[in-house]
Structure 1
Amino acid sequence: MKPKISFKGFKEPWEVSTLRNFFSKVNEKNARMLYSAVLTNSAEYGIIDQRDYFDFDVANSNNISGYYIVQPDDFVYNPRVSVTAPVGPINKNELGYIGVMSPLYLVFKINGINKDYLCHYFKSNKWHKFMRISGNCGARFDRLSISDEQFVQMPIPYPINSKEQQTICNYLEKIDKLISTASSRLASLKQVKEASLQAMFPQKGETVPKIRFKGFEEEWTKVKLNDICFKKASNLSESSLGQDTGQYAVYGASGYLQNISTFDIPSEYVGIIKDGSGVGRTKVYPAFTSILGTMQYILAKEDNNIRFIAALFENIDFSTFISGSGIPHIYFRDYGEIYVMIPSLVEQQAIASYFTSLDKQIALQTQRLEKLKQIKAACLDKMFV
């Protein structure tokens, strides 16, 4: 037994054991109330402090004497299922301190195998089939019920050579660091954009922004939104696209759909979702493209820059214009009447160039992050059995 991808120099076959051979259940409870940090096992973030996850204490600090004590490097199984953890997550306590967890969790120690190797194995989906066969979903279908005796029968494939175990860990940890760095970089860029949107546009009662490009000193002009842009409807529906092919892209609320042989708009425009989920979300789309009828074209009037308008739109709270008791809608006839502040066309162009550059950086960093996540997923699939 060998994985699809293995590191050079390791020729020994892999073995399969049961989790029972490495497992010892933690039964020690917080009876003397020695520990107050209540932990949670998140599918997305791993084991974290409850206060970091929820921003408040979910558990009553006076009622945690029956909670299990979780030491550093202890493993925890959370039976709650989700899209990201279809059989519930298993994670290792990497916080570096002792906490407590609800009796709803299964807490256990691991010996006889590299803990980090096993931690990475549990990030894969290789053990999910066993859990689906051995467990049962609860009445609400949000929790997997599996006995301890069944749980410890889980097969664990692993390389006999401990150096190979560590080599796998080292490689995956490098990818994790790259993902973490890319994620932090993306978050920083988004924070810069959010701050820029606040600082580079006048706030309520102001006639100039806090930050401006050198050379611009004139006060901004107060106008109605419909003085600088206008809307155009789309008659396209997803079903009407059919098998049409061509060189012109069509976009929907979720992104690119397909190419067709015609286009609606010969210039850049802002697409705004006017109906349904995501109503009010905007994005700049390229020239010679089209959007579906659940969206609307926003086009710049003469002497106005569409990318400046796009940035301006990101400062508008469209939720205040939502109507409809079922499917939410927004109408240009409503939000087009609001007053906004605008500068000269030259200053609009300078602001537009800045946000265009920032958006490109965000898009590139998003692509890099997604690529790294794809690489990680492929490694988890091919480096484990």
Structure 2
Amino acid sequence: MAKIDDSVKKKVPELRFKGFTDDWEERKLIEVADYRNGKAHEKDISEAGDYIVVNSKFVSTNGLVKKYSDEMIAPLSKNEIAFVLSDVPNGRAIARTFLISEENKYSLNQRIAGITPHADTNSYFLHSLMNRNHYFLRFDDGVSQTNLSKKEVEKWVELYPSYGEQQKIGSFFKQLDDTIALHQRKLDLLKEQKKGYLQKMFPKNGEKVPELRFAGFADDWEERKLGDLSQDTIGGGTPKTSVTEFWNG
């Protein structure tokens, strides 16, 4: 008989921080956090608004795409979680989470749920656990618009460790996410830098030299056809069905 792994017999993960040995406990979301729905903001959208509207686009871009409101219609507090309930077919926003980091700044839009972790639930742990969780993604059939209900979200069941272990795990993933965000900003800057160089290091229409050049080069660039620079230009094609090497494995 095959040996049953301890992590199967006991409700624990394969990898843990030192000092934690207790089983994780199965709980519904309603047992670890409170749920509420957002409110419509369409009539209060303003380019000069003081408050950021937390909608699906904002959450799915991790806060990069913003809309503003003149009114704080549905306040979100620090350490609350915004959770996307509705998404178009094949969308990537459904079940995404955004952890609120500041007070008096964010207002919860309709079709976004506000999740308030209980005192014995670490917000970053729950944010990481809920984000695109496979349970919620099951409701997206890729054909019709997905709309998660309050009931479906509240009855979501997962395993939870002690609060101390949640804190350890939450801090660990926060550090990883912060590092990823830092490298993402560096990558974005490099992409913008490359874009600028592409514009300046190739001649503009009607010109024969670029705006920016390496030292030691002063000659005009010459106009040539692609055929002058390559020996052959070929296109792809579909193999004949008689060639079994392409069709049978």
TM-score, structure 2 as length reference: 0.72
Matches within 5 A, 1:222-233: 222-229=223-230, 231-233=232-234
Matched with 1:99 is: 106
Measured in 2, the distance between the counterparts of 1:28 and 1:105 equals 6
Q: Report percent identity of matched pairs.
A: 20
Matches within 5 A, 1:122-141: 122-123=130-131, 125-128=133-136, 132=139, 141=144
Residue-pair matches, total = 227
Matches within 5 A, 1:212-223: 212-223=213-224
**Distance verdict in 2 for CA 1:238–1:119, change over 3 Å:** farther
Matched with 2:145 is: 142
For the 8 Å contact 2:200–2:210, the answer to whether it is kept is yes
Considering only aligned residues, what root-mean-square deviation do their CA atoms show, in Å? 3.7
Matched with 2:19 is: 9
Matched with 2:77 is: 71
- Report which of the two has the higher share of strand: 1
Matched with 2:54 is: 39
Aligned partner (choices 46, 50, 53) of residue 65 of structure 2: 53
Shift of 1:145: 3.9
Deviating 4+ runs (over 6 angstroms) = 27-31, 238-241
Amino acid at match of 1:154: W
Measured in 2, the distance between the counterparts of 1:119 and 1:150 equals 17
**Distance verdict in 2 for CA 1:235–1:24, change over 3 Å:** closer
Aligned partner (choices 153, 156, 165) of residue 151 of structure 1: 153
Structure 1 gaps of 5+ residues are 245-257, 259-385
**Distance verdict in 2 for CA 1:190–1:27, change over 3 Å:** closer
**Distance verdict in 2 for CA 1:206–1:235, change over 3 Å:** closer
Measured in 2, the distance between the counterparts of 1:211 and 1:8 equals 56
Shift of 1:83: 4.4
Measured in 2, the distance between the counterparts of 1:169 and 1:239 equals 56
Structure 2 gaps of 5+ residues are 1-10
For the 8 Å contact 1:69–1:101, the answer to whether it is kept is yes
- Secondary structure, aligned partner of 1:222: coil
Matched with 1:273 is: none
Shift of 1:232: 1.7
For the 8 Å contact 1:30–1:69, the answer to whether it is kept is no
Matches within 5 A, 1:1-385: 1-26=11-36, 36-42=51-57, 44-46=60-62, 48=63, 52-53=64-65, 57=67, 67-81=73-87, 83=90, 85=92, 88-94=95-101, 97-111=104-118, 112-123=120-131, 125-128=133-136, 132=139, 141-146=144-149, 148-160=150-162, 162-229=163-230, 231-237=232-238, 243=245
Shift of 1:30: 9.4
**Distance verdict in 2 for CA 1:79–1:93, change over 3 Å:** same
Shift of 1:159: 0.7
For the 8 Å contact 1:10–1:164, the answer to whether it is kept is yes
Deviation per CA, 1:267-307: give whole Å up to 9, x if none: xxxxxxxxxxxxxxxxxxxxxxxxxxxxxxxxxxxxxxxxx
Measured in 1, the distance between the counterparts of 2:200 and 2:136 equals 49
Amino acid at match of 2:174: E
Measured in 2, the distance between the counterparts of 1:193 and 1:238 equals 39
Shift of 1:113: 0.7
Matched with 1:318 is: none
Deviation per CA, 1:32-81: give whole Å up to 9, x if none: x89643222345334x3xxx516xx5x8x58x68x422223222222224
Amino acid at match of 1:212: R
Measured in 1, the distance between the counterparts of 2:33 and 2:167 equals 20
Shift of 1:115: 0.8
